[in-house]
Amino acid sequence: PQPNGSVNVDGHVSVRDLNRAMDWDLPQDDAISIAGLIINEAKIIPNIGQAFSFYGFRFEILRKQDNRIMSIRVAKLL
C-alpha cells in the first residue's frame, strides 16, 4: 500500500485475491482479473492515465502493453 492508501497491482491479479489481501468486496461475478473488471465496467480498453470510479473505488491505468492492462492503481474512495 502507498501512503495515501492506494495500491498498485498487476492487471492479471484476480479480483478474489485482491479482495482477500486488502479485505475489500469488489464483485467477482463478471471478471476474473482486476483488468477484466475495469474493461467490463468501462466498456472500453482504457489508455494510460485514464481513471474510473465504480464500486466505491478509483482505478487508474498506469501501464499497458498492446491492449492489455499491465498495471493499475486502486484506491478506496472515502
Helix (H) or strand (E) run with residue 74 in it = strand 68-76
Predicted confidence band of residue 69 (pLDDT cuts 50, 70, 90)? very high
Which has the closest alpha carbon to 5: 68, 63, 48, 57?
57
In a domain, 2, yes or no: no
Domain at 17, CATH number: 3.30.465.10
In a domain, 29, yes or no: yes
Question: What is the DSSP-derived secondary structure letter of residue 29?
Answer: S
In a domain, 1, yes or no: no
Which has the closest alpha carbon to 69: 13, 30, 5?
13
Query: pLDDT tens across 17-66, in order?
Result: 999 999 999 999 888 999 999 999 999 999 999 999 999 999 999 999 99
38: left (phi over 0), alpha (psi -120 to 50) or beta: alpha
Number of domains comprising the chain? 1
For residue 5, pLDDT beyond 90 = no
* Residue 43: domain span: 7-76
Whether 73 contacts 59, CB under 8 Å: yes
